[in-house]
Structure 1
Amino acid sequence: MADTKRQSMVGKVATPNLKAGGGASKDVGDADSNLYKAVGSRIKITCAPNNNVLEGTLFTACNTTNAIAINTAPAPPNPSASLFSQPGDYHIIPFAHILSFEIIGLGERAPEPNAGFDGAIPSIAKVDMAALMAREEQTIREMKKKDAQKGKGVSREAQEIFDTLARTLPTRWADNQIVVNDAVLVQPPYTLDSIRAPAGKEQSVVQVKKIIERYYQKKATATPRKGG
């Protein structure tokens, strides 16, 4: 009876080959598409641009990222074996690269499953969109901070001096001037004589001068002498 039910379900989700144009995007990308319904099943898929053929378990079909994830690890020798025992070898394929696909086995699903994610075994948890957005915002903040640490239109030496100061003290760019501790200015050409600060910031000036002095001393030592 189980075999009869399995064959019946295969007939319901079986699908003709997709083509690159026409109605392919609807068949692939919609939530009610055959691919979405086949999550957890074994499929064979042909992909552009070189007609590569992949066979494996469909892990997900996502109409947000417009892509599928397929696990091409071999199916367990025992058809009734749990997919938990199956190793993972995952491939991400954009919908636009799918030339054709066919369902070759339903794989393991929960009793009386719904189409798509709900009946897949192992179960597929919902994506935590709030966590993803927070991670995206954090990445953007870090990228902006990193970009702010790069001087615009300054020499390589100026950037090296900035990086040296930034390893020890709060440092930022203000046009082509280096601002340290929100008080000390290091102006072009970034030498000891080009350090400026308001009254009362003498201690910060001493710190900045020591760091820049060590930078130039180290650079002079590392520079090879010309001649014999």
Structure 2
Amino acid sequence: MADNKRNSIAGKIATPNLKAGSGSNKDVIDADSNLYKAVGSRIKITCAPNNNVLEGTLFTACNLTNAIAINTAPAPPNPSAPLSSQPGDYHIIPFAHILSFEIIGSGERASESTPGFDGALPSISKVDLAALQAREEQTIREMKKKDAQKGKGVSKEAQELFDAISRTLPTRWADTQIVVSDSVLIQAPYTVDNIRAPADKTQAENHVRKIVEHYYQRKKGATSAGAAARAPVAVPVAPRKGG
């Protein structure tokens, strides 16, 4: 039943050929379509599945994403104001959802430009796919690094100790053990007595011990201060008259 309903809707929103007022079908928007040529113009567009009507400036028509972008923000009150001063309220609409459109106002274009987004104002720069891929890879590396800084199956206090050490020294997890500077090992329950290092790494071991000691001293001090703040204060009671 649900599949039949979806198929029925899909049949109603087949991609139009995007000639203004036309209802025949076409797979993509090409350079000959009126909608492609209307980039930068004010248009009114009807969209499936609920016959929603949007009115605004056509920002772009893209065959890679099979969608258009329309800015529905009101046009600047001054007709001579450049399109670049127009505020943005953008909507992305798939080609398959476009039922019809109407061009209601010419757009601002670069002089002697050909139809399409190449001459639209403000200009639309090409997407640097290599830069986007590099940015994606960098984000993935940072996410993996951040995930590696979170201990698996360790206590909150162990993670707090790890974070305290990692602020000054390179620190990583090896299962539930903390490895500092690839030479000093801190095992559960992560006290000073659980610090180990090779004989030739005594200096690094002593440095880590000082950090761990300072962490627990500071934690103990904070706990004591909190307990003192919560301690009840005795209020003297005035003696009753008449003994």
TM-score normalised by L of structure 2: 0.72
> Percent identity of the aligned residues?
67
- 2:180 equivalent in structure 1: 180
| Distance in 2 between residues matched to 1:121 and 1:227, nearest whole Å | 69
Q: Quick one: structure 1 residues 196 and 66, their matched pair in 2 at CA, closer, same or farther if it must change by over 3 Å?
A: farther
| Distance in 1 between residues matched to 2:208 and 2:50, nearest whole Å | 59
Paired letter, 2:134 = A
Q: Quick one: structure 1 residues 75 and 143, their matched pair in 2 at CA, closer, same or farther if it must change by over 3 Å?
A: same
| Distance in 2 between residues matched to 1:161 and 1:120, nearest whole Å | 57
Instruction: Measure how far apart 1:205 and its partner are.
Output: 1.1
Q: Quick one: structure 1 residues 40 and 177, their matched pair in 2 at CA, closer, same or farther if it must change by over 3 Å?
A: same
What SS does the aligned partner of 1:75 have?
A: coil
Paired letter, 2:145 = K
Instruction: Measure how far apart 1:65 and its partner are.
Output: 3.9
- 2:72 equivalent in structure 1: 72
- 1:61 equivalent in structure 2: 61
Paired letter, 1:14 = A
What SS does the aligned partner of 1:104 have?
A: strand
Instruction: Measure how far apart 1:187 and its partner are.
Output: 0.8
Instruction: Measure how far apart 1:120 and its partner are.
Output: 1.2
Q: List runs of 5+ in structure 1 lacking aligned partners.
A: 1-11
| Distance in 1 between residues matched to 2:48 and 2:221, nearest whole Å | 57
Q: Does structure 2 conserve the Cα–Cα contact (< 8 Å) formed by 1:59 and 1:71?
A: yes
What SS does the aligned partner of 2:212 have?
A: helix
- Superposed CA deviations along residues 86-122 of structure 1, whole A, max 9, x for unmatched, are 3221313241794545232231234564342122122
Equivalenced residue count is 209
Query: Bigger CA drift: 108-117 or 36-45?
Result: 108-117
Instruction: Measure how far apart 1:177 and its partner are.
Output: 0.8
Larger radius of gyration: 2
TM-score normalised by L of structure 1: 0.76
| Distance in 2 between residues matched to 1:97 and 1:227, nearest whole Å | 68
- 1:123 equivalent in structure 2: 123
What SS does the aligned partner of 2:136 have?
A: helix
1:75-114 paired onto structure 2 within 5 Å: 75-76=75-76, 82-84=82-84, 86-95=85-94, 98=97, 100-102=99-101, 103-110=103-110, 113-114=113-114
Instruction: Measure how far apart 1:196 and its partner are.
Output: 0.7
Query: Bigger CA drift: 87-96 or 47-56?
Result: 47-56
Q: CA RMSD in A?
A: 3.0
What SS does the aligned partner of 1:201 have?
A: helix
- 1:221 equivalent in structure 2: 221
Q: Quick one: structure 1 residues 190 and 17, their matched pair in 2 at CA, closer, same or farther if it must change by over 3 Å?
A: farther
| Distance in 1 between residues matched to 2:158 and 2:86, nearest whole Å | 52
Q: Quick one: structure 1 residues 173 and 17, their matched pair in 2 at CA, closer, same or farther if it must change by over 3 Å?
A: farther
Q: Does structure 2 conserve the Cα–Cα contact (< 8 Å) formed by 1:69 and 1:91?
A: yes
| Distance in 1 between residues matched to 2:131 and 2:209, nearest whole Å | 44
Instruction: Measure how far apart 1:213 and its partner are.
Output: 1.4
